[in-house]
């Protein structure tokens, strides 16, 4: 009897040593890829659903591993970096970022890369989800008018970047050749209400930010890492105005966020929210209650948050000149009932004047600066558009349509068209308190803009001569008069 018990104990110890080592290391994650390699795939091949940003294919759910056919076409095409700024993008699937690919651990992927006959250059693809030479780069190198097929198995779960890896690699990526592939774990990611695809990239143009016309890639600026544009989804305004993301209060939103680079690291942040969960660097480790997450060039993160109150959440790179001056700004509009327990909003406003303080007045233009020569109206319009696209569009939106209850419209605005002097004053000194625009009340705060007389005249002339406004040409003299 005693011997039997001892034998059983010995056996149990031996087994725990044998199996325990394998199981306990690395929180059980260590065997995922090893297990995935052995996974049998018996189904017929299934064509992968590919989607254009900001949409993602439907979740894998509970399905077993399968053979996944991915068919992707490379297209070189002219598009817009910003309104009026043309650029020749090189794309995976016709969009920047490229088509979103979604599979699961254990899937066997048969990937066909087609290089459109009208393209000028050879390309290839390096998928960070691939274990193998160059992530598939060598196997997929393909000339215009040709196609290549290669195969691989998805053995690690996570959110991975793919990109072109043809020399000069930085230039191919800088022209838009990147995207995301999601490899879901067995059983899939937890269910959420909304999923979106957002990818940051930095762009380098011969002209400076906002300069209209067709802008060639600038190799020297790329080399110096002096980006003219930092963008979500390849265009200023790709996620604002009619293109904004949407959700309803009470929903959980999951963003698949990638960074194509080629150079800059993203400090990804959503103004007005806290990430309940972040899958750090797109891997399996989850951090909670995060304000800003770093997304390296060639990396990704999955962020999730429940939206509790109606608001316009603002997606930014918190290196904020990139957001307010170089374009990295998106909107997630949350609709639904207010929740006063979560956010009460403004409850009181009063005058604050410490004893002995004088009210500080207007910003003054740089002393001693040479008076610039007056601009023609077309020059003013051009300057004005540039100022608008950097200083104004984030709130008033690309076509002056305004934003929700926060920012009044400038398009067909009775408030604006009635009084140019008041408009000049608003730009110079800012505006707070309630106003009525086109019959609707607004009560927000516009900061004073630090612009010189020429710039104020330019931006107001641009606004007055667009979107159904009355065509007023604002002069520098008028601005000077208001400044006094
Ligand atoms: Cu390429």
- For residues 170 and 165, give the distance between their C-alpha atoms in angstroms, rounded to a whole number: 8
Question: pLDDT for 256-272, tens place per residue?
Answer: 999 999 999 999 999 99
Confidence of residue 441 (pLDDT cuts 50, 70, 90): confident
Ligand 1 center to 167 CA (angstroms): 8
Is the per-residue pLDDT at 194 higher than 80? yes
CA 480 from chain centre, in angstroms, equals: 39
- The label of the residue with tokens 């060598």 reads 138
- For residues 287 and 267, give the distance between their C-alpha atoms in angstroms, rounded to a whole number: 16
Confidence of residue 449 (pLDDT cuts 50, 70, 90): confident
Residue 203 is predicted with a pLDDT of 98
Q: What is the percent of the chain where pLDDT is above 90?
A: 73
The SS3 of residue 420 is helix
Confidence of residue 48 (pLDDT cuts 50, 70, 90): very high
The string of DSSP codes covering 343-376 is: ------------TT--------PPTTPPPPPPPP
Ligand 1 center to 199 CA (angstroms): 18
Ligand 1 center to 222 CA (angstroms): 16
Confidence of residue 430 (pLDDT cuts 50, 70, 90): confident
- The label of the residue with tokens 């006959």 reads 117
Mean pLDDT throughout 239-247?
96
User: Could you tell me which residues come within 8 angstroms of residue 153 by beta carbon, excluding any fewer than 6 positions away?
Assistant: 36, 37, 106, 107, 108, 109, 131
Ligand 1 center to 154 CA (angstroms): 23
Residue 465 is predicted with a pLDDT of 95
Ligand 1 center to 165 CA (angstroms): 6
Ligand 1 center to 371 CA (angstroms): 47
Is the per-residue pLDDT at 439 higher than 80? yes
Is the per-residue pLDDT at 12 higher than 60? no
Residue 13 is predicted with a pLDDT of 52
Ligand 1 center to 94 CA (angstroms): 13
Confidence of residue 130 (pLDDT cuts 50, 70, 90): very high
Greater confidence (70 vs 25) lies with 70
Contact predicate 282/157, CB 8 Å:
no
Identity of the highest mean pLDDT range in 33-47, 243-257, 397-411: 243-257
Residue 42 is predicted with a pLDDT of 75
Greater confidence (193 vs 429) lies with 193
Greater confidence (114 vs 442) lies with 114
- For residues 241 and 54, give the distance between their C-alpha atoms in angstroms, rounded to a whole number: 14
Ligand 1 center to 72 CA (angstroms): 13
Where do runs of H (alpha helix) occur along 204-299?
Answer: 219-224
Greater confidence (31 vs 339) lies with 339
Residue 475 is predicted with a pLDDT of 93
Residue 371 is predicted with a pLDDT of 55
Ligand 1 center to 299 CA (angstroms): 18
- For residues 446 and 433, give the distance between their C-alpha atoms in angstroms, rounded to a whole number: 10
Ligand 1 center to 143 CA (angstroms): 10
Residue 365 is predicted with a pLDDT of 47
Greater confidence (447 vs 104) lies with 104
Where do runs of H (alpha helix) occur along 373-419?
Answer: 377-387, 393-396, 414-418
Mean pLDDT throughout 158-171?
98
Ligand 1 center to 172 CA (angstroms): 5
Of the listed ranges 85-94, 124-133, 392-401, the least confidently predicted one is 392-401
Four-point Cα dihedral 318, 320, 323, 324, nearest 10: 150
Confidence of residue 327 (pLDDT cuts 50, 70, 90): very high
Ligand 1 center to 125 CA (angstroms): 8
Ligand 1 center to 321 CA (angstroms): 29
Ligand 1 center to 171 CA (angstroms): 8
Ligand 1 center to 175 CA (angstroms): 8
Residue 24 is predicted with a pLDDT of 40
- Retrieve residue 431's tokens: 């505006």
Strands (E), 417-456: 431-432, 435-437, 440-442, 445-446
Ligand 1 center to 123 CA (angstroms): 4
- For residues 357 and 222, give the distance between their C-alpha atoms in angstroms, rounded to a whole number: 48
Mean pLDDT, the chain, rounded, equals 90
Confidence of residue 5 (pLDDT cuts 50, 70, 90): low
Contact predicate 134/152, CB 8 Å:
no
Question: pLDDT for 195-234, tens place per residue?
Answer: 999 999 999 999 999 999 999 999 999 999 999 999 999 9
Residue 35 is predicted with a pLDDT of 84
Mean pLDDT throughout 407-420?
93
Ligand 1 center to 258 CA (angstroms): 18
Ligand 1 center to 170 CA (angstroms): 9
Global pTM reads 0.73
Mean pLDDT throughout 179-189?
97
Residue 350 is predicted with a pLDDT of 84
Mean pLDDT throughout 51-78?
97
List, edge to edge, every strand of the sheet that includes 299-306: 229-232, 194-203, 252-261, 299-306, 275-279, 286-290
Ligand 1 center to 166 CA (angstroms): 5
């Amino acid at each position: 009897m005693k011997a039997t018990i001892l034998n059983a104990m010995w056996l149990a110890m031996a087994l725990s040593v044998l199996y325990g080592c394998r199981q306990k290391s690395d929180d059980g994650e260590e065997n995922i890829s090893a297990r995935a390699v052995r996974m049998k795939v018996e189904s017929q091949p299934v064509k992968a659903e590919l989607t254009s940003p900001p949409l993602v294919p439907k979740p894998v759910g509970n399905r077993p591993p399968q053979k996944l056919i991915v068919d992707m076409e490379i297209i070189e095409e002219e598009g817009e970096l910003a309104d009026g700024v043309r650029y020749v993008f090189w794309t995976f699937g016709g969009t920047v970022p490229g088509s979103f690919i979604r599979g699961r651990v254990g899937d066997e992927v048969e990937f066909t890369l087609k290089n459109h006959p009208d393209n000028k250059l050879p390309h290839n693809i390096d998928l960070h989800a691939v274990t193998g030479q160059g992530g598939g780069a060598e196997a997929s190198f393909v000339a215009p008018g040709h196609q290549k097929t290669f195969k691989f198995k998805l053995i690690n779960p996570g959110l991975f970047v793919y990109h072109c890896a043809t020399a000069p690699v930085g230039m191919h990526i800088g022209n838009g050749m990147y995207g995301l592939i999601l490899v879901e774990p067995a059983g899939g990611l937890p269910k959420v209400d909304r999923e979106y695809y957002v990818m940051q990239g930095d762009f380098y143009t011969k002209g400076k930010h906002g300069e209209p016309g067709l802008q060639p890639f600038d190799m020297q600026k790329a080399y110096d890492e002096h980006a003219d544009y930092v963008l979500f989804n390849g265009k200023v305004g790709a996620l604002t105005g009619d293109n904004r993301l949407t959700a309803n209060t009470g929903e959980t939103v999951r963003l698949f966020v990638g960074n194509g680079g080629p150079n800059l690291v993203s400090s990804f942040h959503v103004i007005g929210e806290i990430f309940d969960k972040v899958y750090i660097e797109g891997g399996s480790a989850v951090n909670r209650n995060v304000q800003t997450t770093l997304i390296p060039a060639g990396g990704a993160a999955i962020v999730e948050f429940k939206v509790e109150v109606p608001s316009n959440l603002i997606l930014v790179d918190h290196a904020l000149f990139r957001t307010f001056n170089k374009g990295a700004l998106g909107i997630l509009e949350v609709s639904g009932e207010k929740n006063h327990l979560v956010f009460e909003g403004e409850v009181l406003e009063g005058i604050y004047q410490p004893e002995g303080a004088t009210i500080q007045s207007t910003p003054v233009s740089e002393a001693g600066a040479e008076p610039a020569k007056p601009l023609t109206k077309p020059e003013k319009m051009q300057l004005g558009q540039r100022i608008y696209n950097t200083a104004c569009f984030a709130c008033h939106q690309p076509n002056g349509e305004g934003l929700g209850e926060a920012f009044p419209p400038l398009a067909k605005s009775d408030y604006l068209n009635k009084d140019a002097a008041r408009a000049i004053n608003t730009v110079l000194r800012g505006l707070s308190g309630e106003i009525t625009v086109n019959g609707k009340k607004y009560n927000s705060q516009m900061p004073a803009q630090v612009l010189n007389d020429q710039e104020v005249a330019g931006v107001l002339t641009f606004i007055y001569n667009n979107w159904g406004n009355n065509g007023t040409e604002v002069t520098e003299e008028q601005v000077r008069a208001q400044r006094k």
